[in-house]
Amino acid sequence: MNEVQRAKIVLKILNKIYPTTPIPLKHRNIFTLLISVLLSAQCTDVNVNNVTKNIYPKYNKPEHFVKLGRKKIEKLIRSIGIFRIKAKSVYNLSKTLVDKYNGKVPRTFEELEELPGVGHKTASVVMSQGFGYPAFPIDTHIHRLAQRWGLTSGKNVIKTEEDLKRLFPKKYWNKLHLQIIYYGREFCKARECYGISCKICTSCYPKRKKPIKTKKA
């Protein structure tokens, strides 16, 4: 079985299990989506949602966070990992949006990736989930799953993104990114499946008997 055949199996199984894919990070607008994605680094979506549910009803525009200031932002997100670094990014990001973009989130990869604290993965999530632009955000979890399923060599997240974009039609990218995340959390967990027990792993590699070692992103 080659990677194209495996990709078809993956798509078929994921479409059957997850016909709809709600965005896991709760948000009120594209700005709060951007903030939530930034906060989710090294942190679960559940934890981010628990924190932001008390923030976004009152603070949901760049101007709000500029007015708050860094120290008050720190207090609001204290229960999130590396909160001081993230508070600095949230403040600087908000200030840049106000000063340079009239408080609006820019709509291009180039402009997004120039914002404080925003990398390619964060920009990809905002472009796909916020603006509906075809993108394939790759985090460490998708990187791991793509290796287990034989869809990439696993050299790095850049290579994984290239491989997945090559294997799957563009029209599926935005939904597929979320489907893979949901499936990984439910069925192909890092310390439970090991590439040998879930439906996708057993369908793609029916003869695999030993746990597969994946390369870190």
Q: How many whole angstroms separate alpha carbon 118 and alpha carbon 93?
A: 8
Contact 43, 80 (CB under 8 A): yes
Do 80 and 152 belong together in one domain?
no
Specify the pLDDT at position 113: 96
Active-site choice (12, 58, 88, 121): 121
Residue 214, in any domain of the structure? no
Phi and psi at 5, nearest 5°, equal -65, -40
Is the residue at 79 inside a domain?
A: yes
Whether residues 50 and 125 share a domain: the answer is yes
- Within-domain flag for 215: no
CB 121 within 8 A of CB 138: yes
Tell me the C-alpha to C-alpha distance, in Å, between residue 67 and each of 106, 121, 184. 21, 28, 39
Same domain for 78 and 14: no
Per the structure, the complete domain to which residue 183 belongs is given by 3-21+136-204
Instruction: Reply yes or no on whether 45 is catalytic.
Output: no
CA–CA gap between residue 44 and residue 89 (Å, rounded) = 18
Residue whose token pair is 């989130």: 105
Which DSSP state fits 128?
Answer: I
Please tell me the predicted confidence (pLDDT) of residue 173: 97
Query: Which among 130, 150, 184 is the end of a domain?
Result: 130
The pLDDT mean for the chain works out to: 95
| Mean pLDDT of the region 39-43 | 90
- Give the residue-averaged pLDDT of 52-56: 97
| Pair 118, 142 in one domain | no
CA pair distance 77, 84, nearest whole angstrom: 9
Q: Are 105 and 34 within 8 A, CB to CB? A: yes
Calculate what percentage of the chain has a pLDDT beyond 90: 91
Question: Which residue in the list 16, 104, 139, 171 is annotated as catalytic?
Answer: 139
Map tokens 């549910």 to a residue.
53
Phi, psi of 22 (to 5 degrees): -65, 145
Q: 121 catalytic, yes or no?
A: yes
Prediction pTM value:
0.92
Give the confidence band of 214 by pLDDT, cuts at 50, 70, 90: confident
Closest-CA residue to 80 (of 92, 89, 68): 89
Binned at pLDDT 50, 70 and 90, residue 154 comes out as: confident
Residues 89 and 167 in one domain: no
Q: How many domains does the chain have?
A: 2
Confidence of residue 118 (pLDDT cuts 50, 70, 90): very high
